[in-house]
Amino acid sequence: MTQGKLSVANKAPGSGTEGQQQVNGEKESPAVPSAPPSYEEATSGEGLKAGAFPAAPSGSSSSYDSGFPTGDHELFTTFSWDDQKVRRVFIRKVYTILLIQLLATLAVVAIFTFCDPVKDYIQANPGWYWASYAVFFATYLTLACCPGSRRYFPWNLILLTIFTLSMAYLTGMLSSYYNTTSVLLCLGITALVCLSVTVFSFQTKFDFTSCQGVLFVLLMTLLFSGLILAILLPFQYVPWLHAVYAVLGAGVFTLFLAFDTQLLMGNRRHTLSPEEYIFGTLNIYLDIIYIFTFLLQLFGTSRE
C-alpha cells in the first residue's frame, strides 16, 4: 500500500490493530464526540465551571470565563434575573445613593431658603448659577454618554458627587425666589408623588418600559412648548401658558420616574444591567428634581 494514503482493513473490528485507520503509517484512534451537558449541569454553577460552555480559543481574550460573554457590557441586559439576591443588592445600592443625593439637595435648598445672607448673595451673583449649570451639563453628558466613566470606581462616585452638588445649587437658587411656604408645600407634594409612583411601579403589572415611543413624543412636546414659552416671555408673560407648561412637565417626568423605576426591577421588557447602578441613580434623581421644579412653578408664590 502506498504510504501517505488512508487504508482501512476489511476485517471485523476489535482484533488487534484491525479495523483502525492508518494515516501516514501512524495509528490513530477514531475521534469520539463528547456528550453534551445535561440541563442540570448547564444551569448549575458547577456546570459552568466544568465546561458546560465552550472555552475561548487560545490566543484570544477570555470572554467566556464565566459562561456568558464578558466583553463590552451593554446598557440594557437581556439576561434573566433569576437570582433574587443580585436584584435586591442592585436596587438597594441605587436607592442608598439616591437617598444621599436627595438629603444633600434638601440641605442646600434649606440653606438657600432660610438663610437670608446666603440667599441675598446668590441672587446678587448670577454668575455662580451659570457656572453650576455648565458643570451640571458637562458631568451629565460624561456620565450619560461615557460608559467607562460611570462604571469604574472611584471616578463614577466623584463625577456623581460633582453632578449632585451642581444640581443642588441650581435647585436651591430657584427655590430662593419663591416663598418659604410654597417651597415646603412643593417639597411635600413631590415626596408624596414620588413615593406613590415608586410603590405603584413595583406593584403594577403594566410595563412602562414598553412605552418608550409615547414618552419620547411627550418629551418632544414639552421641549417645543418650552421653546415657545421662552420666545414669548421677553415680549409678554402669559400665565396660563406657563401653567400648562408646568403641568405638562410634571406629568412627563412623573411617567419617566415610573419608567426608570421599572428599569431597576429586572422582570420587565427592558432592564438595566446590574453594573449600571450609577446610571439608574442618575435618572431617578433627575426625575425627582424636575418634578419638584415644575411643581414649584405651578404652585409656588414669588417673594414680595
Chunked in runs of 10, what are the mean pLDDT values of the chain (304 residues)? 43 45 46 51 45 43 39 47 70 90 92 86 87 91 82 86 92 88 90 91 82 87 86 78 87 91 78 81 92 87 62
> Do residues 258 and 70 lie in contact, with contact meaning Cβ atoms separated by under 8 Å?
no
Q: How far is it, in rounded angstroms, from Cα 265 to Cα 94? A: 11
* 301 membership: H or E segment, kind and range: none
Chain mean position to CA 158: 17
Q: What's the pLDDT at 299?
A: 82
Q: What's the pLDDT at 98?
A: 92
What are the φ/ψ torsions at residue 166 (nearest 5 degrees)?
-65, -40
* 48 membership: H or E segment, kind and range: helix 45-49
Q: What's the pLDDT at 6?
A: 43
* 64 membership: H or E segment, kind and range: none
Q: How far is it, in rounded angstroms, from Cα 12 to Cα 293? A: 88
Q: How far is it, in rounded angstroms, from Cα 9 to Cα 22? A: 9
* 297 membership: H or E segment, kind and range: helix 277-299
Please, which contacts does 71-80 make with residues 24 or more away whose CB atoms are closer than 8 Å?
73/147, 73/151, 73/273, 73/275, 74/273, 75/147, 75/272, 75/273, 75/276, 75/279, 76/270, 76/271, 76/272, 76/273, 77/271, 77/272, 77/273, 77/274
C-alpha cell at 220: 418632544
Q: What's the pLDDT at 205?
A: 82
DSSP label at residue 68: S
Q: What's the pLDDT at 125?
A: 85
The amino acid at 160: L
Within 13 Å and on the Cβ side, how many CA atoms surround 162?
A: 19
Q: What's the pLDDT at 302?
A: 67
Please name the residue that has the C-alpha cell 425627582.
Answer: 288
C-alpha cell at 97: 445613593
The reply to whether omega before 154 is within 30° of 0 (cis) is: yes
CA distances from 148 to 72, 73, 153, 163, 270 (A): 10, 10, 10, 16, 21
Q: How far is it, in rounded angstroms, from Cα 251 to Cα 26? A: 79
> If you count them, how many residues does the chain have?
304
- Provide the 3-class DSSP secondary structure of residue 19: coil
Q: What's the pLDDT at 11?
A: 42
- Provide the 3-class DSSP secondary structure of residue 21: strand
Q: Report the predicted TM-score, pTM, of the whole model to 2 decimal places.
A: 0.69
The amino acid at 89: V
